[in-house]
């Protein structure tokens, strides 16, 4: 398998007040925030449009489970299904079943310290409409 991770897909973290956090970052760091946080646009080596998402989430979210951490990283990947099979064969814990949406496929694993990692095979063009 040639490529596994191709970039950072997102940084998600628990927040006491996600709306206040988004407002603070908008005011002080000029992040262009929306309901989900802020999307950063960039181009990969081939010149394709790509995105990275920054999102404060409610402190009570269960989305990071089974990890007890305050954050979750999302990595952009190529061929999610093949990567998940490879990771399983390498003894990596896969969490749940992959999910597909119009903006990409998602899968989850746990790293060596129990951090939940989200793997995303993106369809960036959905966001460019």
Q: Identify the pLDDT of residue 45.
A: 86
Q: What pTM, to 2 d.p., does this model score? A: 0.89
Q: Identify the pLDDT of residue 44.
A: 86
Under DSSP, the state recorded for 20 is: H
What is the per-residue pLDDT across 72-128, written as a single tens digit (0 to 9) for each? 999 999 999 999 999 999 999 999 999 999 989 999 999 999 999 999 999 877 666
What is the per-residue pLDDT across 16-33, written as a single tens digit (0 to 9) for each? 999 999 999 999 999 999
Q: Identify the pLDDT of residue 127.
A: 66
Could you tell me how many residues make up the chain? 129
Under DSSP, the state recorded for 44 is: -
Which is nearest to 1 in space by CA: 88, 72, 73, 102? Answer: 88
Q: Identify the pLDDT of residue 125.
A: 72
Q: Identify the pLDDT of residue 23.
A: 97
Which is nearest to 57 in space by CA: 71, 39, 40, 76? Answer: 71
What is the C-alpha to C-alpha distance for residues 8 and 27, in angstroms, rounded to an integer? 24
């Amino acid at each position: 398998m040639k490529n596994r991770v191709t970039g950072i897909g997102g940084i998600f973290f628990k927040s006491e007040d996600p709306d206040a956090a988004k407002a603070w970052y908008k005011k002080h760091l000029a992040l262009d925030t929306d309901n989900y946080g802020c999307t950063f646009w960039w181009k990969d080596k081939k010149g394709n449009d790509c995105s990275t998402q920054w999102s404060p989430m409610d402190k009570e979210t269960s989305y990071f489970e089974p990890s007890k951490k305050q954050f979750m990283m999302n990595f952009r990947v190529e061929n999610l299904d093949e990567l998940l099979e490879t990771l399983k064969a390498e003894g990596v814990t896969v969490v749940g079943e992959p999910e597909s949406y119009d903006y990409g496929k998602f899968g989850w694993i746990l790293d060596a310290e129990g951090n939940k990692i989200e793997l995303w095979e993106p369809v960036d063009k959905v966001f460019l409409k």
